[in-house]
Chains A and B, each alone.
Chain A
Amino acid sequence: MDPIREAMLKKSRSAKLEQRGRLISLFCIGLIVVIVASIFYFVASKGLATFFSDGVNLWDFLTHSVWSPGVKDAHGNPQVGALPMIVGSFGVTFLSAIIATPFAVGAAVFMTEISPKVGRKILQPVIELLVGIPSVVYGFIGLSVVVPFIRGIFGGTGFGILAGTFVLFVMILPTVTSMAVDALRAVPSHYRSASLALGATRWQTTWRVVLRAATPGILTGIVFGMARAFGEALAVQMVIGNAALLPNNLVSPASTLTSVLTSGIGNTVMGSLENNALWSLALLLLLMSLFFNIMIRWIGKKGELK
């Protein structure tokens, strides 16, 4: 066979490389999809067993406030009311997001609008460092500093939603800040120039133009922070007190979905109601993080700069 004909008929070296590369990346994405799907399947099958094979009413699960899966109530139904944990989880999440947002936006404005040089050189690394601190360290600081502090001011034990909020506030602050910084930097500079050319002061430009334009990005950052707060287990568990009670106030012991999960999972037997009930909590967590993800995408799409 002549060499030209051979070269025309056979795949070239680069075509083979391309094929191989495509195969490898396809395999990688396939693996990830399979893993995610099987996690969903596993958690859902275990979590739904509470309702289908153990006969717990879904509505009771979401609205009742007595959590002791090992004990049956007067009617012989297992007591799996997840309301205290749901309230606790949402309580710490929203409160910490509400406290963290103004600080994060303020810091971001300083880093991008007021003093970009210091922002880039000093503040950025500091914020990034905060992201990297392990949650157990935050929890430990919360336990040895925040809890006694709250006890000293409000009395009681010091454990509760307020302590959890403080710890989570510090934990999500860097996340929200760095995403807010990104959002502010993404605002095109001709917006600023145009505003200044119209005679607006820097503050007016920042407040009315830059922040307005960056709102979707900042909101995404807040939701990201909330997703992190919602899923945080260890640090919150150390300071919230882990009482499956509807909290009367911010300084009485409460619990979150994650704290009940981590403290209970080792003490239950696979396949028993106690275990399935914990999986139901895990399913709830998974659905909530899915919800946060969808929300992030939705905000991102809705607020795209056009």
Chain B
Amino acid sequence: MKKWLNLVLILAAGLMLTACGAQSQGESITAVGSSALQPLVEAAAEQYQTDHLGVFINVQGGGTGTGLSQVQSGAVAIGNSDLFAEEKPGIKASQLVDHQVAVVGITPIVNKGVGVDNVSMSDLRRIFTGEVTNWKQIGGKNQPIVVVNRAQGSGTRATFEHWVLNGRQAVPAQEQDSTGMVRSIVGSTPGAISYVAFSYVDKTVRALKVDQVAPSDKNVTTNTWKIWAYEHMYTKGQPQGLTKAFLNYILDAKTQTKLVAKMGYIPVTDMLVRRDATGKIIK
């Protein structure tokens, strides 16, 4: 009997401790979704928490679809997304409030051996729809083109296909579910082409110019470089309390110029043009 009593006591003590723990915590919110936006939100949350003791901002990945559906169902305070909620089937965009916190430029990358460093938009389209299958057809080496796609439903892929493919369907090809993986495959596979966010371009791959426009942050801010998208943080209804304070913190000019740029995103405050959900330019 004594053993039992001990066990019960330990369990009770444990329960009381966790109860205390929960009470002494201050406010806490959770942000879930896009893995492309996750590093930025994590960094911002960390800074915010050091400035404001007692608050707790929990940041998780899981993908754009997860973020949008979780915030729509009210399970989390903020849903991070690479896409406008209007673009995602199954999401009632009217219930959600959009907060555009950063801009990401996306560039085609190729293996270094293909012998091409500029491509026209129509050739790029023909590569990804499968009409052009050898680099020599567009002035490169005699080497078959290996298309590497991101997974279906990925925000980067949706953005790229929206601006490059013009509504046509991409050729079925291999798919990878992370940008890092895409880069290492393109870097090591002869003739490979794919697309990544600007911040992922490094020495192992070559970023292509499109119609002689170089993929740079400056060209994105003027919309000379067309392939870019907003990073969104959605809330259900107008944000309140900690959620509102945190979003204001990210949108603050200081955070935008320092943190956002440092993490490899383009600050929304730098943008000279704006786009709506259908991709039309609004001033």
Asked if B90 and A269 make an inter-chain contact with CB atoms under 8 angstroms apart, the answer reads yes
Q: How many A-B residue pairs have CB under 8 A?
A: 93
Give the chain A neighbours of B90 by CB distance below 8 A.
268-275
Asked if A269 and B188 make an inter-chain contact with CB atoms under 8 angstroms apart, the answer reads no
**Number of contact residues on A: which range applies?**
35 or more
User: If A263-B177, A267-B154 touch, does A157 touch B192 (CB 8 Å cutoff)?
Assistant: yes
* Cross-chain contact of A242 among B65, B69, B176 (Cβ < 8 A): B176
Overall SS of chain A's interface? mixed
User: If A253-B174, A273-B89 touch, does A68 touch B65 (CB 8 Å cutoff)?
Assistant: no
Asked whether A245 is an interface residue with its Cβ less than 8 Å from the other chain, the reply is: yes
* Cross-chain contact of A157 among B35, B62, B65, B189 (Cβ < 8 A): B189
Interface residues of B in 135-169 (CB under 8 A from A): 146, 151-155, 169
Asked whether A241 is an interface residue with its Cβ less than 8 Å from the other chain, the reply is: yes
Interface residues of A in 192-243 (CB under 8 A from B): 237-238, 241-243
Give the chain B neighbours of A268 by CB distance below 8 A.
65, 90, 153
Asked if A267 and B174 make an inter-chain contact with CB atoms under 8 angstroms apart, the answer reads no
Asked if A242 and B174 make an inter-chain contact with CB atoms under 8 angstroms apart, the answer reads yes
Asked if B62 and A269 make an inter-chain contact with CB atoms under 8 angstroms apart, the answer reads no
Asked whether B54 is an interface residue with its Cβ less than 8 Å from the other chain, the reply is: no
Chain B, residue nearest A266 (CB):
B63
Asked if A264 and B172 make an inter-chain contact with CB atoms under 8 angstroms apart, the answer reads no
Kindly state the separation between the CA atoms of A255 and B90 in the bound complex, as whole angstroms. 26
Give the chain B neighbours of A156 by CB distance below 8 A.
146
Give the chain A neighbours of B153 by CB distance below 8 A.
70, 264, 267-268, 274
Asked whether B68 is an interface residue with its Cβ less than 8 Å from the other chain, the reply is: yes
Give the chain B neighbours of A238 by CB distance below 8 A.
181
* Cross-chain contact of A266 among B65, B172, B175, B181 (Cβ < 8 A): B65
Give the chain B neighbours of A300 by CB distance below 8 A.
none
Interface residues of A in 268-297 (CB under 8 A from B): 268-275
Chain B, residue nearest A237 (CB):
B177
Asked if A264 and B152 make an inter-chain contact with CB atoms under 8 angstroms apart, the answer reads yes
Asked if A266 and B192 make an inter-chain contact with CB atoms under 8 angstroms apart, the answer reads no
User: If A70-B152, A242-B174, A274-B153 touch, does A267 touch B188 (CB 8 Å cutoff)?
Assistant: no
Asked if B169 and A71 make an inter-chain contact with CB atoms under 8 angstroms apart, the answer reads yes
Asked if B172 and A244 make an inter-chain contact with CB atoms under 8 angstroms apart, the answer reads yes
Asked if A267 and B63 make an inter-chain contact with CB atoms under 8 angstroms apart, the answer reads yes
Asked if B89 and A157 make an inter-chain contact with CB atoms under 8 angstroms apart, the answer reads no
Shortest CB-to-CB span from A31 to chain B, Å, is 18
Kindly state the separation between the CA atoms of A98 and B139 in the bound complex, as whole angstroms. 45
Kindly state the separation between the CA atoms of A273 and B90 in the bound complex, as whole angstroms. 8
Kindly state the separation between the CA atoms of A69 and B169 in the bound complex, as whole angstroms. 12
Asked whether B91 is an interface residue with its Cβ less than 8 Å from the other chain, the reply is: yes
Give the chain A neighbours of B151 by CB distance below 8 A.
242, 263-264, 267
Asked whether B216 is an interface residue with its Cβ less than 8 Å from the other chain, the reply is: no
Chain A, residue nearest B157 (CB):
A267
Task: Give 10 A-B pairs besides A148-B188, A242-B151, A275-B90 with Cβ atoms closer than 8 angstroms.
Answer: A68-B172, A151-B189, A157-B146, A157-B189, A241-B174, A243-B174, A245-B173, A253-B174, A264-B153, A264-B177
Query: What are 18 A-B interface contacts by the 8 Å CB criterion?
Result: A71-B169, A148-B188, A158-B189, A241-B174, A242-B151, A243-B174, A244-B175, A264-B152, A264-B153, A264-B177, A265-B63, A266-B62, A266-B64, A266-B177, A267-B65, A267-B66, A268-B90, A274-B90
